[in-house]
Structure 1
């Protein structure tokens, strides 16, 4: 069945933006991972702050729209694809940076269909203006997360505690003592090398610190350039962004906000269980047992009510019975082929994938929740797989 031209054109534009967004995985930040192993990139930072928004939702200001705050945090740094990241530790001209980011927005957002370009632009501008309760919540998280990424780490990178401390006490996060006093007290206590008293907020922060480890879980799929394998945190950001923009293509009506949250959470268990490549040879039953044990441990770090709620959302994704889970699973299968095609084959080369394996392991899942997406990707994927097989023959 051939898709109508209008549907194809719309999907072409949506995918042009989502493909371009992959470049955010190659924009480095001044922050480092909590194990100090490497610099963090902007895509995995964007995933982490979106997770922060979900987990810290009990402390949202009145009038905050959680779904919109998460959407803001998923897209807030997209402009850094062109404009680059600007550390608080380095002096810069704010007007010059603003101009660069405006130019980036003017190039990137119009890649989308006009209605979605307007929606993403509105989210980004609201976040930058910090005038609504939703934007205030998102900005507070964006300001505090890097600080606590330093102070919650087992050891501190040379020079980073001084930068984080200055940001907290004199820089852009200095209003936290007034705006979010409990979080500010915890941050200052950690800065002094103290152990803060146990509390629900401290439990949430420990969970969020543990989540940092997802940035070190390597996947079979490569980033768009093919230069390296992606990690599960930046994958989770990218597929959540897919959900934000592609919900209209679900087989059944879905709640986009729930699908986005599922996909932000869906791979957390890989911190303990590791990634199981679709075309790999891992034991499915053993993987499932390992992931359930990981879910017990990780969601058990949270206060009971919140841990139960987020564990249930993760389990809904795993069970794949609801419309939201069906679509989330489809997107989780739909994202990697797009990267493999852009990278000239990617993991399909490594696993010598043929059409039959692809259609069974990937196509069936995509089609189950989003037949339109399958109709769009199938000819592109088949053409690439056929080419690869001819080259390998």
Structure 2
């Protein structure tokens, strides 16, 4: 058994706990508070869509990696809204300790890489970190101001944040975001924000992925996961496990695929791998997903929407090395969650080990055989004890 894989999975399973951290912000329909995992996914999507606003020296994909990691420290240190009256120096110290603990779960080389990237984001001195910070500052603003029924005091927080808070820097660093936020507050400055407003409908619609419930439960079994936080988690999986791919892959392209791959579920819904096995039903699902892709990527400016649609199509086709690996990783994460929570969807859908091998194992082996052999060794005792061999 690979000690390297053991360390990598120890980190990935610990990261699952970020879904239990609720933020002050509400999701766009204002039905509940957002959690830090789905927030991290949405920020990554913001960074990808707002790439045209980044300065030429910015590597947007490095910024996306920062945003995937940046809130992991909240697992230990908790979330602290900007309105909290806290000792911020103490918070920074607690977050540094959390980063050390979490990234030390990884193999030493990966842990050092992740810690350095997290520290770079916190320092916000590099162009990549600066862009990531600005994305992190503007997303909660638009999530509030475009909310179906935002709380009055949340709107007041946004106004205060723009007038002298950390978001005031947007006036210089991302003028379209700054001026459009004031327009939404009823204070139109006359600034041309059309490049931004052409992209916000897509980003706002994407918020609905946080409402799509999957068959898999969180590791603690407390609730079913949603497709937004799932997308964040499997992006981490792909990044950490990329070295085990059968073929060399472009990790940033894999991350982009996994960032986008489940968006079609906003219209088409989730289809559990153990729940939809009939050929006719699968064909009908594929048609619904195609129509969803037409609608959703059509919300973007044409050139940008076409690029993202092609990435989604490549993932669905699963023919390139990047897509094969991305598909493999998409299958792995629910297996580990089921094992943690006592069987999860295996119990619900009466799954046997041969069925798991056929529906999941074959796809994972195609892209990352060592990963599947490791995972299967972990889950086989559960199936044996449950009499599902």
TM-score interval, normalised by the smaller of the two chains: over 0.9
Alignment partner of 1:99 out of 89, 93, 96: 93
Alignment partner of 2:234 out of 224, 234, 239: 239
- After TM superposition, the structure 1 stretch with the greater mean CA deviation from structure 2, 188-197 or 223-232, is 188-197
Distance 2:384 2:48 in 1: 42
Deviations 1:151-186 (A, max 9, x none): 122332231110111112221110111111112111
**Maintained 8 Å contact 1:200/1:302:** no
What SS is found at the alignment partner of 1:31?
Answer: strand
Structure 1 moving runs of 4+ over 3 Å? 193-198
Tell me the CA shift for residue 298 of structure 1: 0.4
Residue of structure 1 in register with 2:213 after alignment: 218
Alignment partner of 1:355 out of 350, 353, 356: 353
What SS is found at the alignment partner of 2:15?
Answer: helix
What SS is found at the alignment partner of 2:242?
Answer: helix
Residue of structure 2 in register with 1:229 after alignment: 224
What SS is found at the alignment partner of 1:159?
Answer: helix
- After TM superposition, the structure 1 stretch with the greater mean CA deviation from structure 2, 188-197 or 309-318, is 188-197
Distance 2:311 2:338 in 1: 29
Residue of structure 2 in register with 1:270 after alignment: 265
Residue of structure 2 in register with 1:342 after alignment: 340
Residue of structure 2 in register with 1:307 after alignment: 305
**Maintained 8 Å contact 1:62/1:133:** no
Distance verdict in 2 for CA 1:60–1:198, change over 3 Å: closer
**Maintained 8 Å contact 1:147/1:168:** no
Distance 1:317 1:200 in 2: 28
Coordinate RMSD, CA, aligned:
1.6
**Maintained 8 Å contact 2:315/2:323:** yes
Deviations 1:36-80 (A, max 9, x none): 111110000000000101110011123111111010000000000
Tell me the CA shift for residue 198 of structure 1: 7.4
Alignment partner of 1:10 out of 4, 15, 20: 4
Tell me the CA shift for residue 309 of structure 1: 0.3
Distance verdict in 2 for CA 1:196–1:14, change over 3 Å: same
Tell me the CA shift for residue 102 of structure 1: 1.1
Residue of structure 2 in register with 1:119 after alignment: 113
Distance 2:385 2:194 in 1: 57
Aligned residue pairs: how many? 385
Distance 1:325 1:383 in 2: 31
Distance 2:135 2:344 in 1: 35
1:139 aligns with 2:149: no
- TM-score, normalising length from structure 1? 0.95
- TM-score, normalising length from structure 2? 0.96
Distance 2:364 2:152 in 1: 46
Alignment partner of 1:367 out of 365, 368, 378: 365
Residue of structure 1 in register with 2:178 after alignment: 184
Tell me the CA shift for residue 334 of structure 1: 0.7
What SS is found at the alignment partner of 2:225?
Answer: strand
1:168 aligns with 2:162: yes
- After TM superposition, the structure 1 stretch with the greater mean CA deviation from structure 2, 185-194 or 220-229, is 185-194
Tell me the CA shift for residue 366 of structure 1: 0.4
Tell me the CA shift for residue 281 of structure 1: 3.1
**Maintained 8 Å contact 1:354/1:386:** no
Unaligned runs of 5+ in 1: none
Tell me the CA shift for residue 386 of structure 1: 2.3
**Maintained 8 Å contact 1:269/1:298:** yes
**Maintained 8 Å contact 2:217/2:225:** yes
Distance 2:161 2:208 in 1: 24
- After TM superposition, the structure 1 stretch with the greater mean CA deviation from structure 2, 150-159 or 245-254, is 150-159
Tell me the CA shift for residue 197 of structure 1: 7.1
Distance 1:277 1:335 in 2: 13
What SS is found at the alignment partner of 2:149?
Answer: coil
Distance 2:32 2:150 in 1: 13
Tell me the CA shift for residue 90 of structure 1: 1.6
Distance 2:211 2:40 in 1: 15
Tell me the CA shift for residue 196 of structure 1: 9.1
Unaligned runs of 5+ in 2: none
